[in-house]
């Protein structure tokens, strides 16, 4: 089997997904031509010189040996996936809005196959007449996220809010406001926020956070900075008892990892979360409306990509779900049904699905 790869290799979510796929492809004995998107950065990963050497071989030979007749697997955004190093491109991408534009539809049409990570998105594009759209799931990264022995604080429940800071799609500001209104300055509950966004100015992030909290300070809400390694991020995820995810996600990697590591969760029952979360492994909040995506930062009205709406939720429904998750945590700190996700969603299955499209 001959194929090439075109994907980012860095510490962000796209890059983390790429590295996981690359490790499995190496494990199978392949040595494809590899075209990295952007700067290669493995600083977040565990040191593995054999893997680095393999990457260098794949990258260094690509320019001299790759042929456009060889199919290529690309992992990237829709807004830069019309171009390709191959006449036959298989694209793995993510989409969270609900109003596909002509440019997005045309990009998908010009790929041999386009994989998305949840049925909601796949059905959306299929309803627009595209027959080359398929489903694949992401996987748990057992190498970078092994279980840790944590000393739980018996009288304190730690809750986590993660993902790059976005106040529309991920609804971080709304969650913060609601959480503070119910649990603010209560010593029995702490909220650990790992929502640093490297694509925003720190002063802009701070201003928005201050507005969400009404200018008040809460001793039990802490904001963590950028975590440069997976080891550090793993420690963060496992320091929480409950993870909160109330956005419209293509998959929801931080929440998925947390639940797979045995943490309880409060999640919005939509889009990517529906692929792996259920009433047994999470407390689900049903969306009750949609709202426009535009935030003036990452989503702009009238642009050729990322148009439409996100799912919204009722305030009281979220707070009630937090109460249920707290009761589950008090009964058992370990989410045993969540741990099952590690075996259900593996990188072997993801690579099998991608390679089946070649």
Backbone angles phi, psi at 248, to 5 degrees: -95, 105
- In Å, the largest CA–CA distance within the chain is 62
Nearest alpha carbon to residue 269 among 291, 247, 237, 293: 247
Q: Supply the pLDDT for residue 346.
A: 98
* Tokens of residue 318, six digits: 């979220």
Reduced to 3 states (helix: H, G, I; strand: E, B; else coil), residue 68 is coil
- Cα angle at 6 between 120 and 301, to 5 degrees? 45
In order of start, what are the domains of the chain with their CATH numbers? Answer: 4-140+347-355 (3.40.50), 157-344 (3.40.50.2000)
Residues 318, 265: Cα–Cα separation, whole Å:
12
- State the 10-residue block means of pLDDT for the chain, 358 residues long: 96 96 98 98 95 98 98 97 97 98 98 98 98 98 90 83 95 97 97 93 89 92 94 96 98 98 98 98 98 95 97 98 98 97 98 98
Dihedral sign computed on CA atoms, order 144, 146, 148, 152: positive
Nearest alpha carbon to residue 114 among 94, 99, 86, 137: 94
Helical packing angle, 49-65 and 13-27, nearest 10° = 90
Give per-residue pLDDT as tens, 271-290: 999 999 999 999 999 999 99
Q: Supply the pLDDT for residue 151.
A: 63
Q: Supply the pLDDT for residue 152.
A: 63
């Amino acid at each position: 089997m001959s194929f090439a790869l075109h994907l980012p290799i860095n510490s962000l979510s796209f890059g983390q997904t790429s590295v996981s796929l690359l490790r499995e492809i190496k494990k199978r004995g392949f040595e494809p031509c590899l075209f990295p998107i952007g700067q290669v950065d493995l600083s977040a990963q565990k040191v593995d010189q054999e893997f680095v050497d393999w990457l260098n071989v794949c990258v260094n030979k690509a320019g001299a040996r790759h042929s456009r007749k060889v199919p290529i697997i690309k992992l990237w955004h829709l807004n830069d996936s019309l171009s390709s190093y191959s006449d036959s491109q298989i694209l793995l991408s993510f989409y969270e809005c609900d109003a596909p534009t002509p440019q997005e539809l045309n990009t998908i049409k010009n790929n041999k196959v386009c994989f998305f990570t949840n049925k909601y998105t796949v059905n959306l594009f299929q309803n627009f007449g595209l027959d080359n759209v398929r489903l694949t799931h992401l996987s748990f990264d057992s190498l970078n996220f092994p279980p840790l022995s944590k000393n739980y604080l018996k009288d304190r429940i730690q809750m986590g809010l993660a993902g790059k800071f976005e106040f529309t799609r991920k609804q971080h500001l709304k969650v913060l406001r609601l959480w503070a209104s119910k649990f603010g300055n209560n010593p029995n509950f702490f909220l650990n926020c790992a929502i640093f966004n490297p694509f925003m100015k720190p002063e802009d992030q701070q201003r928005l956070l201050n507005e969400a909290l009404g200018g008040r300070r809460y001793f039990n809400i802490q904001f963590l900075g950028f975590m440069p390694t997976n080891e550090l991020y793993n420690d963060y995820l496992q320091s929480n008892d409950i993870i909160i995810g109330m956005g419209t996600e293509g998959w929801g990697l931080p929440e998925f990892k947390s639940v797979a590591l045995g943490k309880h969760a409060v999640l919005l029952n939509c889009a990517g979360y529906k692929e792996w979360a259920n009433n047994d492994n999470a407390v689900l909040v049903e969306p009750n409306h949609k709202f426009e995506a535009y935030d003036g930062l990452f989503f702009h009205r009238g642009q050729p990509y990322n148009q439409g709406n996100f799912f919204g939720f009722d305030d009281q429904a979220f707070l009630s779900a937090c109460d249920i998750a707290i009761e589950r945590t008090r009964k058992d700190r370990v989410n045993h049904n969540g741990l099952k996700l590690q075996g259900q969603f593996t990188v072997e299955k993801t690579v099998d699905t991608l390679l089946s499209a070649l």
